[in-house]
Amino acid sequence: MNEIFAPAKLGPITLRNRVIKAATFEGRTPDALVTPQLIDFHREVAAGGVGMTTVAYCAVAPGGRTDRHQIWMRPEAVAGLRELTDAVHAEGAAASAQIGHAGPVANAASNRAPALSPSRMFSPLSMKAMKVPGEAEIRELIAAHANAALLAEQAGFDAVEIHFGHNYLVSSFLSPLLNHRRDKWGGTLTNRARLAREIACAVRDAVGDRLAVTAKLNMEDGRRGGLTVPESLQVAAWLEADGALDALELTAGSSLLNPMLLFHGDAPRREFAKVLPGPARLGFRLVGRAFLKEYPYQEAYLLEQARQFRRELSMPLILLGGITNLDTMNLALTEGFDFVAMGRALLREPNLLRRIQSDAATRSACVHCNKCMPTIYTTTRCVYRPERTIIDLDGRQRA
C-alpha cells in the first residue's frame, strides 16, 4: 500500500490515511447552527476517502465569527455537531473542529459584536474602529478556546485545529504589523507569541489526551512589516517545546491584507466584488487589484517555506497548499511531512481520494480559478460543480 493510504497516528488518535480535508468555511449555517446541508457536505468528503475532515468554522465567541452566519461554540450547537460527527464516523473518517477567533477579520456589523484587534485599527468591513482587548478580555479569550475544545469533545470530534493563521486574532497578535501593544502581549516576539502559546496550552489542559490538538500557523503574512518566516520558525519552535500540540499545519497569507497568498492561482476580482458587504464593496473597487494580488499556481506552492519548518522541527507537520495528486502527496512524505491537507481540490471533487486510490495517475479537475472563494458568502462550492441547494445569507434556500 502507498504510504499515504496507510493508517497514521496523530497524537492520541489514528487516522485511516494521511490526507486531511482542510478547513473551507462551508456557508451552510445561516442560523449559526448545523444544518442537514452541512452534514451532507462532510459526509460526502468522508465518503470520498479522506482520513479526517475539518469543520470550519467553529468560533470560540459570537464576535469571533467572520460574520453571524457561522457557528459559534455553545451548548445549543452540540447536538447538531454530534449528528455531523456521527455521519463522518459512519463513513470511516475522523472529524476535526477548527476553533478560533476571527479578530480583525470579523464583520462587527454582521455579528453585532465588536471586532477585536491587538492595537487600534479601523475595520473596513464595519467602517468602525475595532476594540482592543485588555488583560481580562484576553484571559476570557483564552478560556473561550479551552471551552470550545471541550464542547467539540462533547460533540464527538476526534481533534481540534486552533486557528493561528490568516491574521485572525492570534495571527494578528503574532504580526508586528498589526500588534503595536506595549504590554506583555505585544512588542517582542516573545510577547507577540504569548497568546498562541497560552491558547495551545489551555486547549491541551482542557481536553488532555482525549482529542488530537493541532494548530494552523502562518509561516508568513505576506505583507511588508508582517510576520516573517524566521519569526514564525521561532514561534513554531516554542510551540513544539511547550508540547501542547500534536501537529502544525503550515499556511501563509492574510484574509485581511493579502488573501491570495493563501491560494495562488487566479484572482477572482469580479466575483469577489459582487458579494462583499456594501462599504467594503466600495473600497474594493478602489483597491481590488492591490488587495487580490496574483501568485502563479504550482503544486505544493508552500513547500519552499514549509521545508524550513521541517528542517528545524521534529514535531509532526501537515503540508498544505496546492496538493491535488498522488505525486505531490508522495513528494510531501519524501520531504518529511507527516500529513497533507487539501482544500479546493476536494470542493471540486469530494471523492478525489477514492479515485486516486483506484488509479494513481488521477489528476484533479480543480483549475484553481478561485471562484469558490467568494461563494463562502452564499453556499461554499466549486462553481463548476452542480449544487443541489444554495442557502442565501438570509437563510432562504434556493433550489
Ligand X SMILES: Cc1cc2nc3c(=O)[nH]c(=O)nc-3n(C[C@H](O)[C@H](O)[C@H](O)COP(=O)(O)O)c2cc1C
Q: Which residues bind ligand X (CB under 6 A)?
A: 22-25, 56-57, 98, 163, 165, 216, 251, 262-263, 320-323, 342-345, 372-373, 376, 380
Least distance to ligand X from the beta carbon of 120, Å?
26
Q: Is the dihedral of CA 204, 209, 212, 214 positive or negative?
A: positive
195 neighbors 142 (Cβ within 8 angstroms):
yes
Q: Which of 168, 295, 301, 377 is catalytic?
A: 168
Q: What DSSP string describes 324-378?
A: -SHHHHHHHHHTT-SEEEESHHHHH-TTHHHHHHH-TT---------TTGGGGGS
CA contacts within 13 A on the Cβ side of 297: 16
Give the Cα separation of 3 and 98 in Å (integer). 26
What does DSSP assign to residue 302? T
Q: Give the nearest distance from C-beta 168 to ligand X in angstroms.
A: 8
Q: Is 248 helix (H, G, I), strand (E, B) or coil?
A: strand
Q: Measuring CA to CA, how many Å separate 224 from each of 88, 193, 255, 280, 288?
A: 41, 19, 15, 23, 18
Q: Which is nearer to ligand X, 263 or 284 (CB)?
A: 263
- The residue (of 186 and 252) whose beta carbon lies closer to ligand X is 252
Q: At what angle do helices 75-90 and 36-47 cross, to 10 degrees?
A: 30
Q: If you search the block for the grid coordinates 473597487, which residue do you land on?
A: 285
In this structure, what DSSP letter does residue 136 have? Answer: H
Q: How many residues are present in the chain?
A: 399
CB of 347 to ligand X, least distance (A): 6
Report the residue number, 163 or 192, with the smaller CB distance to ligand X.
Answer: 163
* Of 237 and 275, CB closest to ligand X: 275
- CB 296, min distance to ligand X, A: 13
Is 377 assigned a catalytic role?
Answer: no
- Indicate the residue among 102 and 186 with the shorter CB distance to ligand X: 102
Residue 328 beta carbon to ligand X: minimum distance, rounded to whole angstroms: 10
**Across-strand partners of 116?**
131
Listed residue (186, 183, 162, 163) closest to 173, CA to CA: 186
Nearer to ligand X by Cβ, of 98 and 214: the residue is: 98
Q: How far is the CB of 215 from ligand X (least distance, A)?
A: 11
Cβ 184 to ligand X, closest distance in Å?
A: 27
Q: Measuring CA to CA, how many Å separate 351 from each of 41, 47, 91, 275?
A: 12, 7, 12, 29
The grid coordinates listed for 98 are: 477548527
Give the angle subtended at the CA of 20 by the CAs of 276 and 14, to the nearest 5°.
145
88 or 372, CB closer to ligand X? 372
Note whether 264 and 321 are within 8 A (CB). Answer: yes
Q: E strand or H helix at 160, and its extent? A: strand 159-164
Residue pair 226/175 in contact (Cβ under 8 Å)? The answer is: yes
Which residue's CB comes closest to ligand X?
343
Between residues 146 and 162, which has the closer beta carbon with respect to ligand X? 162
Dist CA 130 CA 108 (whole Å): 8
Nearest alpha carbon to residue 166 among 230, 93, 249, 90: 249
| Least distance in angstroms from the C-beta of 21 to ligand X | 9
Q: Which residues are catalytic?
A: 168
